[in-house]
Amino acid sequence: MYYIGPRFDHKRTFFFLNDSLHRTHEPVIIGRADHPVSRSLVASSALKVLYRLKDAGYQAFLVGGCVRDILIGITPKDFDVATDASPDEVRSLFRNCRLIGRRFRLAHVRFGDQIIEVATFRAEHGDDLPDDEGSIEEGEGDAEIEAELMVEPDDRRVQDDRGRLLRDNIYGSIDQDVWRRDFTCNALYYNIQDFSIWDYVGGFADVEARVLRLIGDPETRFREDPVRMLRAVRFQAKLGFSLDPETRDPIPRLATLIDGVPPARLADEVQKLFLTGSAQRAFDLLIQYRMLEHLFPATAAHLAAEPNGMASRLLRVGLESTDRRAADGRSLTPMFLFAVLLFGPISVAAQRRFESGAPANLAIAEACDDVVSSQVRRVSLPKRFSIPMREMLALQPRFHRRSGRKSLALLTHPRFRAAYDFLLLRAEAGAEDPELARWWTEIQELSHDQRIERVESMPSDAGPGGPAKRRRRRGGRGRRKPAANPPA
């Protein structure tokens, strides 16, 4: 080990990364005086975990996104700890700790609603990938995982009856752990022992240069785990880093490998891409690298056919408002996101149904089911999101009904708020009369009596979402598109 300041020639170390024989087992160590990671920037819960491990005689490091984020001056969203203590040893140190994970056991140490993930150093090997199961899939409870661990708690390798690896605990040392990580900027270790940063891969210089560079041969690493391509987009969008050309160039060619990633895992990644404040930028990058067509094929096809169409405008304003909400710390849900992303294909399918005589709300609901059922083969969307999404979209025609007391019932519909937000988006995108959106904004501000006065003074409206007796004329005047320009 040798100690140096932060400005070292990382290329010397990095040059040989593709060749396992030349992998260094000696980190460059950046002393506390030469980097900005201070304990005051680390969550107290993470510090408690680090100190408890250290006091028990183990190595304890912060690693991954938290070190990277502090170095560039942003607040980490979570803190990951790496240690040479085994998962069972970690568990014995913390009362508030449980072991999770199928292939690899990780310790989750809980402090209120904050979880510090503690991972034992792992040697890289052929199947060194995260669990396939995404966290938002239904029915993947932790209880199930724990039960599985109870069955064979001491076995290192656990396979299911089809030979799929459920757990394979091959632990290692820090100088083995580093090579399984994705980007050099994510492979920096902050040592609680002396507050130094250990850098095996030139990550410190890459963070300074704001460069994302895969560790090892990019094509091999992308093939091992195609999700790394999505992570490249995410970090580029979120951190404003540029992609090193060698890391960037194979992506459009390898994007098709995303098709083989389990939909639940992609769902996790899509959420991180779109719901963490840089959705607009991420979306543009997904198009640029030819990845959108693998995640949202119907959307990509729709946008290619109508690049300046209404769905494209709605997507822009929808993602912009998503980023604004994220910046304001307001809640974000996949159901709204998917409605924004799938609006184009849903509109087309709804229009077709509407023109063959289906009532507008039904046309929309069925179109939603159609589009969602193909979409979930790529990126899963649990029913707890897809059902409210369908309700929200199918309510859109009801906004055209503004006369008579019955129209007020919409205000108390459980999905009103989301549907109203979506109406605002459509109005902003030019897909709806802004006056209609204004009317629904105003009515919410009125008292009960004023509301009644308002709806009783409205001229009676007749339209596909209005009185049921309206006679339908195929394609005739007065017909409105169900989603693009929803019927009354």
The contact set with ligand ATP (CB under 6 A) reads 64-65, 77-78, 80, 130, 181-182, 186-187, 225, 227-228
Q: Which is nearer to ligand ATP, 69 or 366 (CB)?
A: 69
Give the span between the Cα atoms of 315 and 305, in whole angstroms.
15
Q: Which is nearer to ligand ATP, 182 or 391 (CB)?
A: 182
Contact (CB, 8 A) for 238 and 277 = yes
Note whether 65 binds Mg ion by CB under 5 A.
yes
Q: Where in 76-135 is the site for Mg ion (CB under 5 A)? A: 78
Q: How far is the CB of 25 from ligand ATP (least distance, A)?
A: 18
Angle (nearest 5°) at CA 26 between 24 and 29: 125
Q: Which is nearer to ligand ATP, 64 or 466 (CB)?
A: 64
Q: Which residues pair with 115 in a beta bridge?
A: 110
Q: Which residues pair with 191 in a beta bridge?
A: 61
Site stretch for Mg ion (CB under 5 A), options 8-16, 47-55, 59-67, 198-206: 59-67
Q: How far is the CB of 180 from ligand ATP (least distance, A)?
A: 6
Q: Which of 296, 299, 487 is nearest to 394 (CA)?
A: 487
Task: Render the burial of 97-136: b for 16+ CB within 10 Å, e for the rest.
Answer: bbbbbbbbbbbbbeeeeebbbbbbbbebeeebeebebbeb
Strand 188-191, strand 211-212: pairing = unpaired
| Partner touching 348 among ligand ATP, Mg ion, none, CB below 5 to 8 Å by kind | none
Q: Which of 406, 405, 396 is nearest to 427 (CA)?
A: 396
| Partner touching 182 among Mg ion, ligand ATP, none, CB below 5 to 8 Å by kind | ligand ATP
Is residue 182 among the annotated active site residues?
yes
Angle (nearest 5°) at CA 64 between 2 and 187: 40
Q: Which is nearer to ligand ATP, 182 or 199 (CB)?
A: 182
Q: Under 8 Å CB-to-CB from 279, ≥6 apart: which residues?
A: 273, 319, 322, 323, 326, 337
- Count of residues making up the chain: 488
| Partner touching 355 among Mg ion, ligand ATP, none, CB below 5 to 8 Å by kind | none
Q: How far is the CB of 312 from ligand ATP (least distance, A)?
A: 28
| Partner touching 370 among ligand ATP, Mg ion, none, CB below 5 to 8 Å by kind | none
Q: How far is the CB of 239 from ligand ATP (least distance, A)?
A: 9
Is residue 80 among the annotated active site residues?
yes
Q: Which is nearer to Mg ion, 69 or 432 (CB)?
A: 69
Q: Which of 444, 442, 420 is nearest to 432 (CA)?
A: 420
Cβ-closest position to Mg ion: 65
| Partner touching 428 among ligand ATP, Mg ion, none, CB below 5 to 8 Å by kind | none
Contact (CB, 8 A) for 122 and 177 = yes
Q: How far is the CB of 325 from ligand ATP (least distance, A)?
A: 19
Catalytic residue among 84, 168, 182, 268: 182
Q: How far is the CB of 342 from ligand ATP (least distance, A)?
A: 25
Q: How far is the CB of 258 from Mg ion (least distance, A)?
A: 21
The torsion angle over the Cα atoms of residues 467, 473, 477 and 481, rounded to 10 degrees, is 70
Q: How far is the CB of 488 from Mg ion (least distance, A)?
A: 48
Q: Which is nearer to Mg ion, 46 or 367 (CB)?
A: 46
CB neighbourhood size of 176 (10 A): 17
Cβ-closest position to ligand ATP: 65
Site stretch for Mg ion (CB under 5 A), options 29-37, 63-71, 118-126, 269-277: 63-71
Q: Which is nearer to ligand ATP, 119 or 311 (CB)?
A: 119
Catalytic residue among 34, 78, 369, 461: 78
| Partner touching 181 among ligand ATP, Mg ion, none, CB below 5 to 8 Å by kind | ligand ATP
Q: Which is nearer to ligand ATP, 261 or 335 (CB)?
A: 261
Catalytic machinery residues: 78, 80, 182
Residues forming contacts to Mg ion in the complex (CB under 5 A) are 65, 78
